[in-house]
Amino acid sequence: MENSEEPMTYFRHNGIIFCSPFHSAERLERLKDFNIDPHIPVLITYPKSGTTWMQQIMSLILCNDNDSKKMINLYTRAPWMESVRFNLEIRDCQILTTHLNYQMVPNCVKSKMFKIIYVTRNPKDVIVSSYHFHKYSRFLEAPKNFQDFLENFVEGNVFFGSWFEHIRDWHSHKDELNILFVAYEDMKNDLRSVVQKVASFLNKKLDEETLESILNQCTFKHMKENPKTNYKDVSDLFNSESGSFYRKGITGDWKNYFLVSQNEWFDSIYQEKMGDFPLKFDNM
Ligand code: A3P
């Protein structure tokens, strides 16, 4: 499945772009047969939809804002199941995170036994965030320009493949799963309600003091400055002159990037592919 036309760090598996430092085709194949403890909640996102934010929310809820957990790096508390580094023995794992599509996750996860949270985000903001991430990450090919990236995104020629297929596919299986869809835009509008909803989905009760403390630790500023959530310890993965992991953390930034013609073009593609999709996105 290797695609020799891609740069060294890229390979395709089932037609989807992965990165060789973190993923391997052999490992992705084996993952389907992994047996995972159903008590561990699973967080599923398309990249740049608010994964890190939800990891922090879930992690703090699950440990009831416990100090010893908070001292562990977020990516160890909520490891990526598709990463070659992930092993089922990770002691500090509270949550399993994945960007994989429905077909590629371990078969055992496709049942009501697992609590799954899927974070959605307005695709235009995902595109802008992803465009910057592709420029900023050393392990991804920098986009030529925004137009080129936009076309690649629509074709699914980006990290983790097609946004359209990812969200449609997961959503189409919702009745077979115990899955909660949470919108990034709702997290921005009313984080308190989202944290309460997530806590209730995870069967956790939060007293007012703990809830306040969690809300404080989930602000953009706090997460950007917190060494356990800001990825500064893996700075070799990123090109700090080209951006920052915590970039803007806002909704509607797409309006600063999409030309009128690009917006019209994307809207027509969106209508064609997603016109009948039941979830709607704020600020489209
Ligand atoms: P921007 O690039 O638009 O700023 P992911 O974690 O899935 O990679 O998503 C990254 C996006 O979530 C980035 O968006 C990042 O800034 C935003 N983000 C991360 N933590 C956030 C927070 N606490 N509040 C708001 N946005 C946050």
Q: What is the residue-level pLDDT of the chain in tens, covering all 284 positions? A: 333 444 447 789 999 999 987 899 999 999 999 999 999 999 999 999 999 999 999 999 999 998 888 899 999 999 999 998 887 777 789 999 999 999 999 999 999 999 999 999 999 999 999 999 999 888 888 899 999 999 999 999 999 999 999 999 999 999 999 999 999 999 999 999 999 999 999 999 999 999 999 999 999 999 999 999 998 888 778 888 888 889 999 999 999 999 999 999 999 999 999 999 999 999 89
Whose Cα sits closest to atom 12 in ligand 1?
50
Q: Ligand 1 atom closest to Cα of 220? A: 23
Distance 222 CA to ligand 1 centre (A): 12
Query: Mind giving me the DSSP string for 42-55?
Result: EEEE-TTSSHHHHH
Which pair of structure tokens corresponds to residue 213? Answer: 């403390």
Half-sphere exposure of 256 (CA within 13 A, CB side): 10
**With contact defined as beta carbons under 8 Å apart, do 202 and 58 qualify?**
yes
Whose Cα sits closest to atom 8 in ligand 1?
48
- Report strand pairing: 178-183 vs 96-98: unpaired
**Residue by residue, what is the 3-state secondary structure of 174-213?**
HHHCEEEEEEHHHHHHCHHHHHHHHHHHCCCCCCHHHHHH
pLDDT at 1: 32
Residue ranges around ligand 1 (CB below 6 Å): 45, 47-53, 125, 129, 132, 218-220, 223, 246-249, 253
Active-site residue flag, 99: yes
pLDDT at 87: 77
Of 211, 168, 167, 161, whose CA–CA distance to 190 is shortest?
A: 211
pTM for this entry: 0.95
Q: Which residues, in sequence order, are CB contacts of 10 under 8 Å at separation 6+?
A: 3, 17, 18, 19, 20, 141
Whose Cα sits closest to atom 14 in ligand 1?
249
